[in-house]
Structure 1
Amino acid sequence: MAASQGRDTPRNAQRPAGYAALHSQFRWEVPQHFNMAQVCSRRWAELQDATKRVAIRAYSSGASDTFYTYSQLQEQANRLSNALAKLGVQRGDRVGIVLPQRFETAVAYMAVLQLGAVAMPLSMLFGPEALEFRLQDSEAVVAICDAGSLPALASVRQTCPQLRAVLGVGLQDADAALLTGPQDARFETVLHAQSAVFALVNTLAEEPAVLIYTSGTTGNPKGALIPHRALIGNLSGFVASQNWFGFDGKKNRSSKAVFWSPADWAWTGGLMDALLPTLYFGRPIVAYHGRFSPQTALELMRDCGVTHTFLFPTALKAMMKAYPGTKSQSVRQQFKLQLDAIMSAGEAVGDAVFGYCEQQLGVRPNEMFGQTEMNYIVGNCNLHYPSKPGSMGMGYPGHRVAVIDEAGNECPVGVPGDVALHRFDVHGQPDPIFFLGYWKNQKATDAKFTGDWCRTGDLAVRDADGYLWYQGRSDDVFKAAGYRIGPGEIENCLVKHPAVINAAVVPKPDPERGALVKAYVVIAPDFIAACADDTGARARLHAQLTLDLQAHVKGQLAPYEYPKEIEFVDSLPMTTTGKVQRRVLRLQEEARARGLAA
């Protein structure tokens, strides 16, 4: 298998015998010039079947679906590129995309990328504060949103002076009233006025394509700048984790592949693990903008003939509880599923979920691990090497992965260390998966590397067979229900409330979600003075403040970031230099969880 521009079949069609053969036969093919939009849309639109080849299937539960072809995708992308150029967007400029899974979202990415500009995904879940920081820090010049995200965007418009225009998708008249800038406009109106012809900007593979902000342990999120070549670096992991998506060798199998994932296209998992690689192979991806439910997920996969998917363990657990199957009929039989592969990431897939996927959904899941900075580097591929339930897997073809110590030396079998990726693969070729660096933060970029090893900050041990087993974070970032949570941003938000003098956010172990967001809060003296000697009054204050602070965070950040539990304390554990010792609180929560389980 080789990863190359425009190539839809492996260099050697004969399947390798196992894991070692995958690595020994694999070679990177990275051209000097490469553009994500060219390989994901334009090249398919130039084929004779472009008007029939489906790119996006917009799924509506209980209603008729809408199919969009690669021809339509490219035509609309061309119109939007021309519109953005007229707004003054130039090569390298950042364009915010605040849209859910829908056809126009794919159009926006293709338009920005083929223009040579940088697409900045922004979640629909972001509140005003989260949007404001990212728009200001990135110096975004245009933002594209829909009715769901427009109010939050409009509320911070005046504090983002670089933002010269907002384009609103599918707005009603009442929504359009929030388009107050002189160059703001409705998305559809702007596109209708533009030409359907646009000349691709011939970007270098090394040029920036996407800017994704990641949560940090302290302070504000960091913007990871992703180059066009990173899509090539993503492909070996995507293909392997999806059991040879696009060219698995079965008769007519590649032509029937249909992808869907509930992962938000504004996150690395939705953009780089779902939307872009599916379009790279010229296959259809299902877009569904709605709340996840086990019933909807199973009905969607049935109705759309989904063959490949990416499902978080949390989603799989919910499906397992809602639809356990029966002795006489599996869930696969009940919903007439056609699944060929399930990739899962975000947290470990336990034995129960692994067994459910195998027995009820008819597919052994492939667990995967990666980061925004270098995504899709470790995982499983049951088609070519057996997965071990609970293991992260092994480095995917083209990626030299190891567990290293503080000095950058590889750890022996069974010894915990930092999961790291080498700049060069086993053949000495540069690995194209790497990010370019953190936006305007060279210090943080340098700290990510030890020599040629790029550290993930995740601890693991390697077993005798080479499989990696996750041990936890080396810093304070944690995952809750599949979402990566950075305590710094939440703490900053909490402290802005007048009742809070200090706060620390840590994970609280939870059997369903892996972890819950918990905050330890020190209340400002003025708020507790009136009830200092009254136990009942203090309890009422704590109860009311818990609700107020949860609503405060929900209104400013993403809903999944608000603390599900708040514990009020007189002080926080601190280091001699004045830093909060989150580790002390985290260990306390783990000890409490063990005590409850005993």
Structure 2
Amino acid sequence: MNDQYQALYQSFRWLVPTQFNIADVCCHRWAANSPDARRIAIYYEDEAGNREVWTYARLAEAVNQLANGLVRMGVGKGDRVGVVLGQRPETVVAHMAAYSVGAVILPLSSLFGPDALEARLRDAEARVAIVDAASSGNLLQVADQCPALHQIIGIGFADERVLPWRSLLARQPSEFKPVPTLATDPAILLYTSGTTGAPKGALLPHSVLIGNLPGFVASQDWFPKPGDVFWSPADWAWTGGMMDALLPTLYFGHPIVATRARFSPERAFELMERYQVTNTFLFPTALKAMMKTVPAPRERYKLALRAMMSAGESVGQAVFEWCQTALGITPNEMFGQTEMNYLVGNSQRRWPAKAGSMGRPYPGHQVAVIDDEGRPVAAGEIGEIALNRLDIHGYPDPILFLGYWNNPAATAAKFTGDWCRTGDLARIDADGYLWYAGRSDDVFKSAGYRIGPGEIESCLVSHPAVANAAVVPKPDAERGALVKAYVVRTAEYAERDPQALIQELQEYVRDRLAAYEYPKEIEFLDELPMTTSGKIQRRVLRLREEERAANAAQAAT
């Protein structure tokens, strides 16, 4: 194919206006124009199968009503508004209303328990929280422990401590003059997923949406095209759902499908068929489940899919090839994180995708693999992925977060000079493609060999017995650590003899990877510990192994 990468990357220039507001570009500008106002913004389907269609005009009217309500509650510029909702139209309304009044949105997953909600609401000093019936019990349980929380707005339930959503909006005018904001003003307070430690609040400016657009457009094979419809199961309370799906789709004035039902492979295909979804973002975990459950989807479903992005973990060779053969789609892998999303990835229509590679830096982002002193490492060597504050032309990169909320020490520790460190390791090849080597604290040494879990996990998942896998070090006095694999079996292999299957999997990996990489020990689990954003919590498994080793050592004395 014609590789257009260098021309695109070298010629790209940021155009960031001084004044910029996410609500204006994702909602109000479409509603202000009669033909655009009639465009569909949201297709919604709840757990029971009830469906709604929201146009941009309907969305803007509700946004203006909520914005008026927030102002009357005393919410002003910079105040935090917590949103504990799943994928539903009211979530979008809450976002756009908060941006419209100059407030900072605090997205919170509906899967959070009371402790997680309290920690974030207290730390952020949220003034208002919006919640539906699914999370109301958890929120109300901790509301009194959040002294800054003055008002709770409730959707779909009644409680004397809560102001009903419908009543609030019904009393408000449908016109509102948005508060002007600078592109550099804070817009989103997004807590990290806690993969490697206590969650930290990353404060993101309005300009972060502009920073995400080059990667979004490229990874979705030059979105938008006429008729494009987007869907992703990614939670809108996380970077993946918000920045890789929701906000960019609305920025371009196209429809997004929202659903509150629990993810399942069959339902994913049904939704994509029903709404003729053209573009999607699917975690590797979801793709693995879809591949195992529906190996030949085009024989059962009439799909309109034209582009797919995947991120969070490595897709791996087996899933990559299944997407190509079974879906007719080459997945564009992407890498980013809460503090700086959409940094590296593929765009198979514009430059070749290499199976298993994270791709190349997207236009607008100066990315390098650096050593401990902040110097770029040689091709083929492993280092830490980092983003420079400035692009290759010397202009500030709008994708970078403003800092950690009330945590200047953590913010400073994130940087080495102008390089913002990701904590993720990779090597870069001669063509400029990055190859993921794991989190800096996921990589370990065994008998002197440096082990990254990603390649071993991908190999295991390519076996028909494995639905998912996680590789961690098991402390060992002789080797320092043994390669230990936690495996979730597919239904077809659940009743097989465990010891025979362990031996089969060990030989399978040994035949395909280096001899030192095969798992010396395999343990079967019903499910792996995951973050609510769909990432494997290897830290939990690693701590389990360390605790077991400590207990064994104590018992031996």
TM-score category of the 2 structures, normalised to the smaller one: 0.7 to 0.9
Secondary structure at the counterpart of residue 140 of structure 2 = helix
Of 84, 90, 93, the match for 1:98: 84
Letter in 1 for 2:186: P
User: What CA distance in whole angstroms lies between the structure 1 residues aligned with 2:298 and 2:196?
Assistant: 44
Match of 2:203 in 1: 225
Cα deviation, residue 255, structure 1: 2.4
List per-residue Cα deviations over 1:19-42 (Å, max 9, x = no partner).
001112211000000000100000
Match of 2:516 in 1: none
Match of 1:264 in 2: 235
Equivalences for residues 361-380 of structure 1 within 5 A: 361-380=327-346
Are 2:292 and 1:337 equivalent residues in the alignment? Answer: no
More displaced, 223-232 or 62-71? 62-71
Equivalences for residues 453-532 of structure 1 within 5 A: 453-475=419-441, 511=461, 512-515=467-470
Cα deviation, residue 472, structure 1: 1.3
Letter in 1 for 2:204: I
Cα deviation, residue 518, structure 1: 11
Match of 1:83 in 2: 69
Cα deviation, residue 164, structure 1: 0.3
Letter in 2 for 1:412: A
List per-residue Cα deviations over 1:358-395 (Å, max 9, x = no partner).
11111100000001100000000001011111111010
Letter in 2 for 1:102: R
Match of 2:178 in 1: 200
Report if aligned partners of 1:126, 1:557 keep a CA contact under 8 Å in 2: no
User: What CA distance in whole angstroms lies between the structure 2 residues aligned with 1:107 and 1:459?
Assistant: 38
User: What CA distance in whole angstroms lies between the structure 2 residues aligned with 1:572 and 1:431?
Assistant: 49
Match of 1:142 in 2: 128
Report if aligned partners of 2:114, 2:138 keep a CA contact under 8 Å in 1: yes
Equivalences for residues 27-46 of structure 1 within 5 A: 27-46=13-32
The verdict on how the C-alpha distance between 1:573 and 1:385 changes in structure 2, with shifts beyond 3 A counting, is farther
Of 234, 253, 268, the match for 1:282: 253
Cα deviation, residue 49, structure 1: 1.7
User: What CA distance in whole angstroms lies between the structure 2 residues aligned with 1:352 and 1:270?
Assistant: 25
Cα deviation, residue 237, structure 1: 0.3
Match of 2:505 in 1: none
List per-residue Cα deviations over 1:241-276 (Å, max 9, x = no partner).
000001xxxxxxx22000000000001000111000
Letter in 1 for 2:379: V
List per-residue Cα deviations over 1:139-193 (Å, max 9, x = no partner).
000000100011000000111011001001122xxxx13x42xxx3011110000
TM-score (norm 2): 0.81
**Structure 2 stretches lacking a partner, 5+ long:** 445-455, 462-466, 476-525
Report if aligned partners of 2:470, 2:536 keep a CA contact under 8 Å in 1: no
Are 2:4 and 1:18 equivalent residues in the alignment? Answer: yes
User: What CA distance in whole angstroms lies between the structure 2 residues aligned with 1:299 and 1:187?
Assistant: 31
Are 2:42 and 1:56 equivalent residues in the alignment? Answer: yes
Match of 2:348 in 1: 382
User: What CA distance in whole angstroms lies between the structure 2 residues aligned with 1:125 and 1:86?
Assistant: 30
Match of 2:140 in 1: 154
Report if aligned partners of 1:130, 1:557 keep a CA contact under 8 Å in 2: no
Report if aligned partners of 2:82, 2:128 keep a CA contact under 8 Å in 1: yes
User: What CA distance in whole angstroms lies between the structure 2 residues aligned with 1:557 and 1:350?
Assistant: 19
The verdict on how the C-alpha distance between 1:472 and 1:518 changes in structure 2, with shifts beyond 3 A counting, is closer
Report if aligned partners of 2:3, 2:352 keep a CA contact under 8 Å in 1: no
Match of 1:309 in 2: 280
TM-score (norm 1): 0.76
User: What CA distance in whole angstroms lies between the structure 2 residues aligned with 1:558 and 1:166?
Assistant: 28
Secondary structure at the counterpart of residue 377 of structure 1 = strand
Count of aligned positions = 479
Are 2:385 and 1:419 equivalent residues in the alignment? Answer: yes
Cα deviation, residue 516, structure 1: 7.9
Are 2:231 and 1:242 equivalent residues in the alignment? Answer: no
The verdict on how the C-alpha distance between 1:255 and 1:20 changes in structure 2, with shifts beyond 3 A counting, is same
The verdict on how the C-alpha distance between 1:17 and 1:356 changes in structure 2, with shifts beyond 3 A counting, is closer
User: What CA distance in whole angstroms lies between the structure 2 residues aligned with 1:107 and 1:517?
Assistant: 42
Report if aligned partners of 1:97, 1:121 keep a CA contact under 8 Å in 2: yes
Cα deviation, residue 323, structure 1: 1.2
Cα deviation, residue 62, structure 1: 7.7
Are 2:414 and 1:443 equivalent residues in the alignment? Answer: no
Q: Percent identity?
A: 56
Match of 1:188 in 2: 166
Match of 1:273 in 2: 244
User: What CA distance in whole angstroms lies between the structure 1 residues aligned with 2:380 and 2:148?
Assistant: 51
Report if aligned partners of 2:238, 2:533 keep a CA contact under 8 Å in 1: no
User: What CA distance in whole angstroms lies between the structure 2 residues aligned with 1:346 and 1:377?
Assistant: 13
The verdict on how the C-alpha distance between 1:244 and 1:57 changes in structure 2, with shifts beyond 3 A counting, is same
List per-residue Cα deviations over 1:187-245 (Å, max 9, x = no partner).
11100000111111110000000001114577631100000001000000000000000
User: What CA distance in whole angstroms lies between the structure 2 residues aligned with 1:299 and 1:518?
Assistant: 39
Are 2:69 and 1:69 equivalent residues in the alignment? Answer: no
Of 192, 201, 205, the match for 1:214: 192
Equivalences for residues 398-409 of structure 1 within 5 A: 398-409=364-375
The verdict on how the C-alpha distance between 1:441 and 1:311 changes in structure 2, with shifts beyond 3 A counting, is same
